[in-house]
């Protein structure tokens, strides 16, 4: 029988390992850096209310020599390019103006836990003449072998213009601006001109697979998706788009490709985005004062939010924020929140032994440079009340050594579900980890109990690799993560939901009238035996479960992948499980085998097996139920 959750409701890589599996398919195609600019910003008394962001936030001025800016960025990239599980965090902010020239372009390379952002009211207020790039990461042979983008996580690019200038780069590198990334990487509020954008790096050891990403509110040139397995582009404009691997989704994108030929090519295109709210951003006003723009929620939108003037929303002065550092106690943070202040988390790792409590409507919690909250003593690091309009953005939440019941809870279980459709509580670029940098234990990573919540890009990850030194069997019994995302609220929308490797259902959607636009899931690599991977008398747990009582639900563009490298004999009965209800509709879904294990069916017993006879070849179901 099907296992139910304790509340009585229906429950619904190693990355180098995946790189090896996917490599079979490719037949063609930490030290802290202290910078002069950061020190000056932190130490000099502010002229216009500039807060003390700390030493890991660097604010650049267009009057600074390009060579100085380049040296600062190069030094941080050198420290961060391989620092996948490190604790250093950085944010580089550019005041309005132009950086780099045709003769001396600014070539920015972005490593782990690094944010590059403009401080303009519009993306066109900050112009980079040059490039902002991510290349394949080489893991062997002294930096020349096993080059891939499958582990290029945790970096942010936003609110600026890039005039692509490849002066000084070799012929291959000069061919495009490379952004070869995977999960927990976002591009927002960008205006890119002067050349092409490639979402893969085909210059480092030839084309290699990348594992997914997210673009929103951006104006893009001709874009080559290339080897990206899955991707969501939302509310943007694109000159053209080429290539794709498994599921590429477009929502409210001017110039998006037609999806009539699905699955060749594997595009899913929505003319508008049903519910959207852009991520808050820092900006300087005309008098040089720092503010945070908090965009308004919108419905049925298409194109960028800034085409005809400022992004609709409200402006909050920085003085209304408590600017926190990792040394600040949760007690002090909660006192400031209780007084009605918003919260800005500067880069770093925060040990959270009691919940940060967000109780007031319209509170903004904004993280810079992948600020990370780590659970201690089994805490719930972030707890949001049943109130409307709360925005949590740019925050990573890690499980700790003692098991937490939840890492982020929105609303009270069995509560009144108060939020607001016109003003939904919103999670933007909020990421979760169970294991990886250290042992992690959590029953559930993300639990949404409130109604009318918007999840706009999240990666919910139970680590398939890390620095713990475990075998896969040891990881299964040590890094405990039962459920990834559990959605109990009604009218919840997710745009860009990435959930991986949890030990039961990766996503359980119990609320009614839910919508997901792009879902990406890998089942866990590490169940030791079939007995460890059983849901009652059913073999395995579906990657996406819609609760049996749900009567309305819509899913667009989704994939569940299997790579049971610890025991290739393991079976999972269905990639997706949903109730047989007229209002439950799945559009463009698939399963795929990455070289080990079997998913017997795509959804509810329908669809051929994704097994080792068709490695890398998806099994698609265009619509369920069939029209």
Active site residues: 522
**Tokens encoding 230:** 């899955």
576 CA to centre of own chain: 22
Taking residue 135's Cβ as centre, other Cβ atoms within 10 Å add up to 18
Cα atoms in the 13 Å half-sphere on the side-chain side of 607: 31
Do residues 337 and 363 touch, judged by C-beta distance below 8 A? yes
**Tokens encoding 606:** 């329908």
Do residues 492 and 455 touch, judged by C-beta distance below 8 A? yes
Q: Is the dihedral of CA 293, 129, 136, 33 positive or negative?
A: negative
**Tokens encoding 381:** 């690091």
**Tokens encoding 424:** 């939904």
**Residue 378, SS3?**
coil
Do residues 595 and 21 touch, judged by C-beta distance below 8 A? yes
Do residues 558 and 576 touch, judged by C-beta distance below 8 A? yes
Do residues 395 and 368 touch, judged by C-beta distance below 8 A? no
Look at residues 101, 33, 94, 97 and name the one whose alpha carbon lies nearest to residue 67: 101
Do residues 172 and 203 touch, judged by C-beta distance below 8 A? yes
User: Phi/psi of residue 177, each to 5°?
Assistant: -90, 115
Peptide bond between residue 265 and the one before it cis (omega within 30 degrees of 0): yes
Surface-to-core class of residue 140, CB atoms within 10 Å of its CB (0-12 exposed, 13-18 middle, 19+ buried) = exposed
463 CA to centre of own chain: 15
Q: Which residues contact 604 (CB under 8 A, 6 or more apart)?
A: 574, 576, 577, 578, 580, 624
Helix (H) or strand (E) holding 321: strand 321-324
Separation of alpha carbons 285 and 290, rounded Å = 7
Surface-to-core class of residue 149, CB atoms within 10 Å of its CB (0-12 exposed, 13-18 middle, 19+ buried) = buried
Q: Is the dihedral of CA 525, 529, 535, 538 positive or negative?
A: positive
Angle between helices 36-43 and 66-80 (to 10 degrees): 100
Q: Which residues of 224-241 are buried (b: 16+ CB within 10 A; e: fewer)?
A: bbbbbbbbbbbbbbbeeb
Alpha helices in 55-206 (DSSP H): 66-80
270 CA to centre of own chain: 20
Distance (Å) of CA 10 to CA 3, 492, 551, 578: 8, 17, 13, 11
Cα atoms in the 13 Å half-sphere on the side-chain side of 68: 12
Separation of alpha carbons 157 and 132, rounded Å = 8
User: Phi/psi of residue 117, each to 5°?
Assistant: -150, 145
């Amino acid at each position: 029988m099907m296992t139910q959750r304790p509340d009585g409701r229906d429950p619904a890589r190693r990355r180098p390992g995946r790189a090896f599996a996917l490599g079979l398919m490719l037949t063609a195609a930490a030290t802290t850096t202290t910078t002069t600019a950061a020190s000056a910003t932190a130490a000099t008394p502010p002229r216009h209310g500039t807060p003390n962001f700390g030493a890991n936030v660097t604010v650049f001025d267009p009057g600074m020599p390009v060579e100085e800016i380049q040296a600062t960025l190069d030094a941080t990239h050198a420290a961060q390019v391989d620092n996948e599980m490190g604790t250093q965090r950085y944010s580089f902010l550019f005041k309005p103006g132009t950086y780099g020239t045709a003769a001396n372009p600014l070539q920015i390379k972005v490593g782990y836990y690094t944010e590059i952002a403009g401080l303009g009211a519009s993306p066109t207020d900050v112009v980079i003449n040059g490039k902002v790039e991510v290349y394949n990461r080489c893991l062997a042979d002294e930096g020349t072998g096993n080059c891939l983008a499958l582990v290029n996580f945790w970096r942010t690019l936003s609110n600026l213009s890039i005039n692509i200038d490849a002066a000084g780069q070799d012929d291959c590198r000069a061919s495009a601006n490379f952004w070869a990334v995977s999960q927990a990487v976002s591009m927002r509020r960008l205006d890119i001109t002067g050349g092409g954008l490639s979402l893969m790096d085909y210059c480092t050891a030839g084309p290699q697979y990348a594992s997914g990403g997210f673009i929103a509110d951006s104006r893009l040139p001709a874009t080559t998706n290339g080897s990206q397995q899955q991707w969501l582009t939302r509310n943007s404009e694109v000159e053209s788009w080429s290539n794709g691997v498994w599921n590429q989704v477009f929502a409210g994108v001017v110039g998006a490709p037609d999806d009539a030929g699905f699955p060749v090519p594997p595009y899913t295109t929505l003319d508008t985005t049903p519910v959207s709210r852009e991520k808050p951003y820092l900006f300087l006003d005309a008098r040089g004062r720092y503010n945070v723009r908090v965009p308004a929620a919108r419905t049925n939108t298409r194109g960028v939010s800034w085409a005809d003037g400022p992004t609709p929303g409200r402006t909050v002065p920085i003085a209304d924020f408590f600017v926190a550092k990792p040394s600040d106690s949760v007690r002090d943070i909660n006192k400031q929140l209780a007084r009605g202040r918003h919260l800005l988390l500067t880069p770093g790792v925060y040990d959270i032994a009691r919940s940060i409590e967000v109780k007031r409507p319209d509170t903004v919690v904004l993280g810079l440079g992948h600020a990370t909250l780590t659970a201690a003593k089994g805490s719930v690091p972030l707890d949001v009340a049943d109130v409307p309009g709360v925005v949590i953005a740019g925050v990573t939440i890690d499980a700790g050594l003692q098991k937490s019941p939840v890492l982020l809870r929105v609303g009270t279980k069995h509560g009144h579900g108060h939020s607001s459709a016109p003003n939904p509580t919103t999670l933007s670029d909020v990421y979760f980890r169970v294991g990886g940098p250290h042992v992690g234990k959590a029953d559930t990573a993300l639990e949404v109990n409130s109604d009318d919540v918007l999840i706009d890009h999240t990666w919910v990850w139970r680590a398939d690799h890390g620095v713990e030194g475990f075998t896969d069997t040891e990881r299964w019994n040590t890094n405990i993560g039962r459920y990834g995302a559990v959605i109990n609220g009604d009218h919840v929308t997710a745009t860009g939901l990435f959930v991986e490797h949890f030990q039961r259902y990766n996503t359980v959607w119990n609320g009614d009238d839910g919508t997901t636009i792009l879902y990406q899931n890998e089942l866990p690599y590490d169940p030791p035996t079939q007995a460890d991977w059983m849901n009652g008398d059913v073999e395995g747990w579906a990657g996406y479960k819609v609760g049996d009582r749900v009567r309305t639900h819509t899913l667009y563009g989704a994939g569940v992948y299997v790579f049971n490298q610890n025991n290739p004999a393991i079976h999972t009965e269905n990639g997706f499980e949903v109730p047989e209800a007229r209002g439950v509709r799945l559009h463009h879904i698939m399963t795929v085998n990455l070289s080990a294990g079997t998913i017997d069916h795509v959804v509810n017993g329908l669809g051929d097996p994704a097994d080792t006879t068709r490695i890398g070849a998806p099994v698609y179901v265009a619509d369920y139920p069939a029209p």
